[in-house]
Structure 1
């Protein structure tokens, strides 16, 4: 078992009453005896972040189980009649599983919507979130045991709870998730940024502890991206011990190749390298377990794209002119994330197919389609020609239970569901969460992705997620008493590292070295001449445009590094 599930002590007591004798105090042994007694129905009793593999000799079956949101990775491959499970693809390669690019998957990846069971490696798959896999007689099938379910719009209209009731109930559910994740044999620390997510986790966690919790904050030398001062004030209010981790551009450049190696996926920002270095500092401080704030944006509609959907499709009595003014204010007020998260509408044929399937186009899909168009314009011509009939976004939608999980739901909730199946597992939980932590043997615990928190969030009125220009409204109000006034009033800022803005920036030098390498010419995805041209364009761009195009350059660089690191074909 990789990971942790919570509340296992009560389950252990229950099993002891049934006569089970335990030989350890671990949650792994509890999970095993639960399976022996309850079979796969035991999965509904497990809450946490886990990947589990069980060899059931009675049934001659190998079973792989992944947590509800895919926080912990679990890959599998069938090679020469043998089924292999592993947390990392490099582990499969180590036992002889061939590693080669899945070129169609790389095309889907450009649009940020690759279906979750597919990796960028041919014939290597992921057990999807909320699924288990059963391998028997050389064959493997996956089965879903949990999905994030939203009420149909009509049922939401019948919710009679007051705002105060909902806020109080949400606080109780979130506090329970945090408290459960504080139970450990070693001290638990907290990652802290200037955002409301980690600040709320810290503030709600501290009262459960007898000593000040250690919190760790990344600091960059660019004031637009540095949140040190905000985080330090929050730590002081919470009574926590504040540990700043100052990261230089040279350190980001030096860590980048290792970050790609551990993430096993293309990157688009140095935030992954920043998280890698943050986890390294935590490990050096002797900390093994941390609470993190990932998942809040996805559960509670924190991204600007979700706010745009809420404003456009759920006006709450506003006139069209009032809505337009709010959209303008939102767009102009968030310069740091404007280039990443918000794009204007288009008549793109891909988007027409999306609209034909679900009746509209969520803003995050519109954004990723635009980014995908830019990315694939740098692909090798033979690859784009071979994908000429593939609509990557429709391809993913056709593999999801649209009629059961999306149709009839409020549009904001539809967007949240679709995002949870694509961007959350494929990028957030891969490039920014568990892999960056476990690279330094740090276990990240994610209270916002507790399934009870997620289920409560799914069933709350939309106004509790987005209220006017206030995103994550329910969290803002539930944690108000433990937040600084600055954090309480602050709008969402994406966790991003500063872009390279000077020719002598260490990241610019790093990019140049990779783009000059033989590996760029050998990898089969990006056209080498076009890729090198992107670097030339980036150097001449105004600083406010660099963040979007640097993301493209980082995809090129990280794909090139992956090709070399894995000796890909």
Structure 2
């Protein structure tokens, strides 16, 4: 797990400044504090740099990246992990390959010449983002893992392409523009990004499961994007309709998840587990404990609000597995005290301070000497765990139920979902014509955020608001989705597909995952997002994912022997921090930040928001008759308003290239 950066110029003879490459690595020192490297190829206009977090092959400079092949044809910089690499190394060695290191990264240097890029990728298992330059083809490849666990950004400048693991890495290069786009700003205010985009003009993300190929032809760069993997559910009529194979699916989930966990225990450093009160992380801990000879270190976040605290159940699971349990208890003011620093790492706005809690937890993981933890992200996406999935299944997939049974479902949904209204569920039904045309309905997971468009339309500064007249956020998102992956699919499959392409990649794996974990040099490994397990899960019939209104039924049954009875029977509880308005201390901490960043001078100086509308939104929130679900929704919008102002301060008002150069000087990292 590391950070990568690089430049590929459109003219081979453009001078490459190696110190800029080093500065780009230095500004993401948090991703790789164990060393750095850079390489350029003379007269080729290409250079890579790398900040290393040593987890596999710890011995000195032997695994120092970037790698250059013996024949000088290939240059590689890799962030993440390739699992099952020992088997691949053995097979390749038997075929005549020679390895200079014990690093998992080096397998790319042997697989690519044999299979080519698209032929190689099916062999790679894990969470990764990498850059590969092929001198023979004069082509740069930027590759991202199947679910987008690892980030990778790029920008096309007048002189070429600049890329890196974080936005600040690109901004450290003086040729990269630093400016909000109107559309990017708008989507920051409504939480959900357009897949492949960022908040900033001209800055793109490599899409999950995609390769961006940048080929140089006669001094011009030709950019091509190819998808190598997607969530391919069976057609609706191909799903099993009865329960005859239920036990087979239960056993299959258990088998595939255990294999995924075992692969992610591979490391030359200790591996711990994040532990909440949900069956996802508890399953990971249970399997890890069963596969280990020594007690597993488990890390839990506790909140001072009983309605949101899952510590009691986590303790029960830790005791059941003899885990070495570390609990971090957070007070109300802890979260907003660290809000600004968290956003420097997330590089996008956050609707809930869970991201801050995860940032603080990763500090504690690092402080007790751990670099790697396994996490439960992905289980809800594979096995239909979120409240929005149950709602969509009821609305669009259970229309055959008799009236009495539909009434029972309706009552259960109302009871279970009340807590999530305004955040994970919309206060009122929101219909996007673009999604209806593309999917057949507006997925419930997007409704609470698309419904924030009414606020965002007003909050934009006047000139930006005028330029955004008629903009349809739902259409912009829907247009990125592959219609072939949605056609003739079951409604639950469609809902899971949309969530994974939007909320998982743009939220959970970003500001709730990699960015706040790697902020403290800590690698998170989400075993549920192993693509072998995922491809098996896609085949599980919808009625075995949600059964008798119980989410993740097949996973519950698969893990039944590992889970305490209270947890096995417990309904899904979305792990999130208490909204600001629920606690006066937290609310005051948020208002203190607002006085700093949302005052008239600050707002008008940034030119992003309309100060009068900012005040009007606070007044709406504070009205005596404001319903709780509206306050929850406006809490999120307030966090986003704070977020865009903070992002402006750190990435636009600040001279990031100078900041990166100063950081390199402090670290004594030099070309």
TM-score normalised by length of structure 2: 0.81
1:49-69 per-position Cα deviation (integer Å, ceiling 9, x unaligned): 100111211211111110001
Q: Distance in 1 between matches of 2:406 and 2:465?
A: 39
User: How far is 1:33 from its partner?
Assistant: 1.5
- In the alignment, structure 1 residue 420 sits paired with structure 2 residue 505: no
User: How far is 1:317 from its partner?
Assistant: 5.7
Q: Residue 365 of structure 1 is aligned with which of 435, 446, 460?
A: 446
- In the alignment, structure 1 residue 272 sits paired with structure 2 residue 376: no
User: How far is 1:481 from its partner?
Assistant: 0.9
List, as ranges, runs of 4+ consecutive aligned residues in structure 1 with deviation greater than 6 Å.
none
Q: Distance in 2 between matches of 1:246 and 1:311?
A: 37
Q: Distance in 2 between matches of 1:133 and 1:159?
A: 42
Q: Distance in 2 between matches of 1:55 and 1:396?
A: 31
Aligned residue pairs total 566
CA contact (8 A) 1:200 1:483 kept: yes
1:300-331 per-position Cα deviation (integer Å, ceiling 9, x unaligned): 11111111111222228632342233223222
User: How far is 1:517 from its partner?
Assistant: 6.9
User: How far is 1:476 from its partner?
Assistant: 1.1
Aligned to 2:139: 61
Q: Residue 558 of structure 1 is aligned with which of 643, 651, 669?
A: 643
Q: How do 1:443-522 residues align onto structure 2 when only pairs under 5 Å count?
A: 443-501=523-581, 502-505=583-586, 506-516=589-599, 518-522=601-605
- In the alignment, structure 1 residue 295 sits paired with structure 2 residue 374: no
Q: How do 1:126-145 residues align onto structure 2 when only pairs under 5 Å count?
A: 126-137=205-216, 138-145=221-228
CA contact (8 A) 1:111 1:373 kept: no
More off after superposition, 116-125 vs 526-535: 526-535
1:402-438 per-position Cα deviation (integer Å, ceiling 9, x unaligned): 1x11010001101111221111111111110011100
Q: Residue 337 of structure 1 is aligned with which of 393, 396, 420?
A: 420
More off after superposition, 337-346 vs 148-157: 337-346
Q: Would the alpha carbon gap of residues 125 and 544 (structure 1) be closer, same or farther in structure 2, given more than 3 Å must change? A: closer
Q: How do 1:10-409 residues align onto structure 2 when only pairs under 5 Å count?
A: 10-40=87-117, 41-96=119-174, 97-137=176-216, 138-157=221-240, 162-315=245-398, 318-343=401-426, 346=429, 351-402=432-483, 404-409=484-489
CA contact (8 A) 1:189 1:213 kept: yes
Q: Distance in 2 between matches of 1:5 and 1:392?
A: 36
Quick check: which one's helix share is greater?
1
CA contact (8 A) 1:299 1:457 kept: yes
- In the alignment, structure 1 residue 525 sits paired with structure 2 residue 608: yes
CA contact (8 A) 1:119 1:125 kept: yes
1:461-485 per-position Cα deviation (integer Å, ceiling 9, x unaligned): 0012111221111111111111111
Q: Distance in 2 between matches of 1:75 and 1:297?
A: 26
User: How far is 1:250 from its partner?
Assistant: 2.8
SS in 1 for 2:370: coil
Q: Would the alpha carbon gap of residues 3 and 518 (structure 1) be closer, same or farther in structure 2, given more than 3 Å must change? A: farther
Q: Distance in 2 between matches of 1:405 and 1:525?
A: 37
CA contact (8 A) 1:190 1:216 kept: yes
CA contact (8 A) 1:310 1:412 kept: yes
CA contact (8 A) 1:4 1:27 kept: yes
1:88-112 per-position Cα deviation (integer Å, ceiling 9, x unaligned): 0101110111111111233344444
Larger RCO (CA within 8 A; separation ≥ 6): 1
SS in 1 for 2:132: strand
Q: Would the alpha carbon gap of residues 159 and 453 (structure 1) be closer, same or farther in structure 2, given more than 3 Å must change? A: farther
1:205-237 per-position Cα deviation (integer Å, ceiling 9, x unaligned): 111101010000011111111111110111111
CA contact (8 A) 1:326 1:469 kept: yes
- The runs of 5 or more residues in structure 2 that have no matched partner are 1-77, 655-671
- The runs of 5 or more residues in structure 1 that have no matched partner are none
SS in 1 for 2:489: coil
1:14-36 per-position Cα deviation (integer Å, ceiling 9, x unaligned): 11001111111111111221112
- In the alignment, structure 1 residue 567 sits paired with structure 2 residue 648: no
More off after superposition, 265-274 vs 377-386: 377-386
CA contact (8 A) 2:181 2:199 kept: yes
More off after superposition, 452-461 vs 149-158: 149-158
Q: Distance in 2 between matches of 1:303 and 1:373?
A: 25
Q: Would the alpha carbon gap of residues 343 and 252 (structure 1) be closer, same or farther in structure 2, given more than 3 Å must change? A: closer
More off after superposition, 239-248 vs 65-74: 239-248
TM-score normalised by length of structure 1: 0.95
Kindly name which structure, 1 or 2, has the bigger radius of gyration based on alpha carbons: 2
Aligned to 1:7: 84
CA contact (8 A) 1:112 1:372 kept: no
Q: Distance in 1 between matches of 2:652 and 2:388?
A: 37
CA contact (8 A) 1:101 1:568 kept: no
CA contact (8 A) 2:434 2:478 kept: no
